[in-house]
Structure 1
């Protein structure tokens, strides 16, 4: 089925121009208008009447679907979204899924049934077909990750590169037995971070030891849970896919009289506020959380207004923040026994 982007590409114009022709708005000269009409006829493009009516009946409401409202990682992202939305006259409706795919589907059905001017997913867990269908009803943006094989606007960092740099930092400190606690299997950012971790080891000729790779869930408890086995496997450093998991790992070390970083170095991911509060302060990958929020919301509002979005997959810069939780391997103390 042809889309408005297909029409725009064939006619050699922007999607905003196609939208103006379809809605019989001014500002399009007769020659350009005819190119658009010819492309529509050739592609047998049929405008979505639901979407058209939807756009003509603004709700001034944007839905943001969040996997876990208690996760502090999302707080600055939501603040950025709220600031941009309010500045443009939109209200934000937060929909918390508690990482439940069925709840996410419910919010999609709610949006299709009741209407909203647009929707942002802070990660998406549902079948891609559901999101694709939703795009026929309203503009959609995905923040924090991307969706394979779907042309949906996204805002994220380069998770592969970030994980590579975190692992490389530990390698350059002299560590070779580096454990990794990943996020849930099947999530695109978990996949990319695991690839980055493995790529760094391979680049420096360090054998990948599957016994040092663990699946977590981004939460404190899974960092604590995997710590015992990591230490029993004599890892001298640990990289975790979230700061919460790093904090859980450090807590286990404290409970068992294992010194960080003297006996084991730790790197986290996200740079939430906790990273600079815990002792030792956590070395981590900083995501530009507020900027992710403002960029995603700005993109969505442009789509709602029918404006052209020049860059549909925006990758923002991350940063390795070096604090107190890592130490060169040669300076590490002899490890304690009885983990």
Structure 2
């Protein structure tokens, strides 16, 4: 197996010059750098990446925290993040919290123990004061979460405005009694969306219904269960804002099975513009986020902070959202998909 000395002899250069090229250090002209690269290629020499990482005190690995990868929104985001990280020469570790605040803290220990260089959090389940303690160990970037007291870079859409737009659309379609669904009111996303929902119902003086079950909506099955709950508790609800296309799909599926017409009897809005929103019949009106662009920006910002090795002030990157109007809220027409 060729050694660094073999590369140096083959290139006709010193071992120090070869080492500088391998470790991507300055003070090596392009001509010598090309000679080293050519020698490495000729000899089939592969640098010891573990040793390089130890010398640079970098793992070239980032962690991505998410609640559950089975949610298509997060799986789509993870795919875009992994591709962008690979372009920068970084690997990713995917950490599912399953909405557990303790698991979130356990994964944050990866920063403190230097097993990763930085972290992207796509959901937050602890107070920011608990998370902030880990910032001296490495940069943390928030994606999809807007925490007011956070002192780090944040990439997100205006969740309040998105919910307001979606709720206003339901009201404009003639809905008179609304329901707001979320996966739990312990996240900044759910709280922001509820503020947008409440802004619309108060502005237009429309009634709404609240129930404990409405804050446990996370997937198709819970959407089906909530529809049954609505039928038993208050069947006069005629408009539902959900925080997920999966939940919206579950509601629509169960409604159709029970002879409830969508959107004549019940209009439903989802969130995230997942593939299921276009495949359902009726198709689901939904809020679209620019997932790929947000994911790529997160990785770009995080790796820049890793490379700069310094504390960074808060920077907000707000992306636009789009309300995709489909037949779960409107009569069948030439509606763009």
TM-score, normalised relative to structure 1: 0.76
Corresponding residue of 2:189: 189
Following superposition, the deviation at residue 104 of structure 1 comes to: 1.6
* Per-residue Cα deviation, 1:14-38 (whole angstroms, up to 9, x for no partner): xxxxxxxxxxxx9xxxxxxxxxxxx
Partner of 1:314: 317
Corresponding position of 2:328: 325
CA distance in 2, matches of 1:306, 1:226: 48
Q: How many angstroms does 1:208 deviate by?
A: 4.2
Structure-1 separation of matches of 2:103 and 2:225: 28
1:134–1:207: structure 2 CA closer, same or farther, 3 Å change rule?
same
Q: 1:65 to 1:192 in 2, by over 3 A?
A: same
Given candidates 249, 259, 269, the residue that maps to 1:257 is 259
C-alpha separation in 2, matches of 1:284 and 1:65: 25
CA distance in 1, matches of 2:105, 2:309: 28
Is 2:268 aligned against 1:245?
A: no
Where do 5+ consecutive residues of structure 2 fail to align? 1-25, 27-52, 332-337
Does the 8 Å contact 1:178/1:212 carry over to 2? Answer: no
CA contact (8 A) 1:69 1:98 kept: no
Give the number of aligned pairs.
277
Query: In structure 1, what is the equivalent of residue 10 of structure 2?
Result: none
Report the Cα offset of residue 307 of structure 1: 8.1
Aligned pair 1:172/2:172, yes or no?
yes
Q: Distance in 2 between matches of 1:109 and 1:101?
A: 13
**Structure 1: any 5+ residue segments left out of the alignment?**
1-25, 27-52, 329-339
State the TM-score, normalized to the length of structure 2. 0.76
> CA separation in 1, counterparts of 2:171 and 2:55?
53
Q: Is the 8 A contact 1:179 1:213 kept in 2?
A: no
Distance 1:58 1:307, change over 3 A: closer
Instruction: Report the 3-state secondary structure (helix = DSSP H, G, I; strand = E; otherwise coil) of the residue aligned with 1:185.
Output: coil
Q: Which residue of 2 aligns with 1:13?
A: none
Distance across 2 between alignment mates of 1:84 and 1:242: 26
Rg larger in structure: 2
Q: Do the aligned partners of residues 55 and 200 (structure 1) sit closer, same or farther apart at CA in structure 2, a change above 3 Å counting?
A: farther
Distance in 2 separating the partners of 1:130 and 1:236: 41
CA offset digits 1:240-275 (Å, max 9, x no partner): 111111111112112212121232111111111111
Show the counterpart of 1:294: 296
Partner of 1:203: 203
| Counterpart Cα distance in 2 of 1:177 and 1:55 | 63
Higher mean alpha-carbon deviation, 230-239 vs 129-138, is at 230-239
1:272 aligns with 2:274: yes
Structure 1 stretches of 4+ with a deviation exceeding 4 A read 53-56, 307-311
CA 1:235–1:55: 2 relative to 1, 3 Å: farther
**1:212/1:57 CA distance change after superposition, 3 Å:** closer
Root-mean-square deviation over aligned CA pairs:
2.5
Q: Deviations over 1:273-328 (max 9, x none)?
A: 11111111111001111112101111101111228979711111110001111137
- Residues 58-73 of structure 1 mapped to structure 2, 5 A cutoff: 58-73=58-73
- d(CA) in 2 for partners of 1:54, 1:141: 24
2:226 maps to 1:226: yes
